[in-house]
């Protein structure tokens, strides 16, 4: 006996679909209706759509609906339908160019696609390192750097308080050999305590390339020895290594000894003898 308080069961999507098909199964009967029966036009049958199809229709009829672009973009990204995601997000930015989430999603997709091109080119080059494949890899890396510059410049223009954007922007400029431009961005980023170590390490490498060793040394010192906030250990180690090398190259032996000593104290135990030996070698040099 049925429970009067029980709720009617909701058919599963597949069952609901079967019921819908059953309703129109007698296609011959539909086709054989008399002219009298067809005199009054019937309402068009609503065909159920998947969510992404509904959103495509919503965008078609209301192209300024940013929420539809965002949801549809996420669906295509989750399904790794990159070309569809790109199409939808580019259209969204065109019609809703002040929607920050859309701009961010489109920019992130641009970088993702550029990164995938680099990965694919690396894979081809690893399997078959021909001149053609090496050239493709070089071009993919150049494209990636250019896309990052474009994204970072636009994003920073919209969010000038987010100084962390300056660092990947500067790294991309470095990759393209635009060191002078990178220096300006990194000097600005290094003024932020939370970014000081990361920005100063990159700044030192730029200045080193530009044959400005003393300025580079000062940047590496800032990247490694400021205590508040303390630098990431990997950044500290790399900065001290570069500082030691620059000081030694420029006959600043006391400074080279100091940086090497700091390294010997901070590196993992297996690497400590290497830097202790370096300290002893530097101390043995005639002044």
| Residues 149-163: tens digit of each pLDDT | 999 999 999 999 999
Check if the beta carbon of residue 155 is closer than 8 Å to that of residue 165.
Answer: yes
Who contacts 155 (Cβ-Cβ below 8 Å, separation ≥6)?
103, 104, 107, 162, 165
Q: How far apart are CA 59 and CA 232, in angstroms?
A: 46
pLDDT at 228 over 50: yes
The pLDDT-based confidence of 36 (bands split at 50, 70, 90) is very low
State residue 52 phi and psi, 5-degree precision. -65, -30
Instruction: Quote the pLDDT of residue 43.
Output: 55
**What does the pLDDT read at residue 178?**
97
For the chain, which residues make up each domain, given as ranges? 49-160
Q: Which CATH number, 3.30.230, 2.130.10, 1.25.40, 2.20.70, labels domain 49-160?
A: 1.25.40
**CA pair distance 130, 270, nearest whole angstrom:** 39
pLDDT classification of 183: cutoffs 50, 70, 90 = very high
With contact defined as beta carbons under 8 Å apart, do 195 and 164 qualify? yes
Structure token digits, residue 130: 């021909």
Give the whole-angstrom CA distance, residue 114 versus residue 145.
9
Q: Which of 170, 243, 165, 166 is nearest to 204 (CA)?
A: 243
Mean pLDDT of 96-113: 94
pTM > 0.85: no
- Asked if omega into 229 is within 30° of 0 (cis), the reply is yes
Query: Residue 2 CB: number of other CB atoms within 10 A?
Result: 5
Neighbour tally for 102: CB within 10 Å? 24
pLDDT greater than 80 at residue 3: no
pLDDT at res. 111: 94
Residues in the chain: 287
pLDDT band at 72 (very low <50, low <70, confident <90, very high): very high
- Measured CA to CA, the distance from residue 242 to residue 201 in angstroms comes to 9
Helix, strand, coil shares of the chain, percent, nearest 5, are 75, 0, 25
The C-alpha atoms of residue 174 and residue 20 are separated, in whole angstroms, by 61
């Amino acid at each position: 006996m049925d429970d009067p308080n029980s709720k009617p069961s909701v058919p599963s999507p597949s069952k609901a679909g079967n019921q819908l098909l059953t309703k129109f199964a007698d296609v011959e009967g539909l086709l054989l209706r008399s002219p009298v029966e067809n005199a009054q036009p019937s309402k068009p049958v609503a065909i159920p759509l998947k969510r992404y199809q509904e959103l495509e229709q919503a965008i078609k009829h209301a192209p300024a609906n940013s929420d539809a672009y965002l949801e549809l973009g996420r669906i295509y990204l989750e399904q790794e339908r990159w070309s569809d995601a790109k199409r939808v997000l580019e259209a969204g930015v065109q019609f809703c160019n002040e929607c920050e989430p859309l701009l961010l999603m489109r920019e992130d997709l641009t970088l993702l696609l550029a990164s995938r091109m680099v990965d694919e080119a690396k894979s081809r080059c690893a399997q078959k390192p021909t001149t053609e494949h090496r050239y493709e890899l070089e071009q993919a890396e150049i494209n990636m750097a250019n896309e990052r510059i474009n994204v970072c410049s636009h994003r920073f223009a919209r969010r000038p308080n987010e100084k962390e954007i300056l660092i990947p922007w500067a790294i991309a400029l470095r990759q393209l050999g635009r060191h002078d431009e990178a220096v300006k961005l990194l000097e600005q980023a290094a003024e932020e305590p939370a970014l000081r170590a990361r920005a100063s390490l990159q700044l030192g490498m730029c200045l080193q390339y530009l044959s400005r060793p003393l300025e580079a040394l000062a940047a590496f010192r800032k990247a490694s020895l400021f205590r508040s906030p303390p630098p990431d250990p990997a950044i500290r180690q790399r900065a001290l290594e570069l500082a030691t090398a620059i000081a030694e190259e420029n006959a600043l032996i006391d400074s080279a000894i100091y940086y090497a000593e700091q390294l010997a104290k901070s590196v993992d135990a297996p690497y400590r003898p290497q830097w202790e030996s370096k300290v002893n070698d530097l101390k043995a040099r005639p002044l």
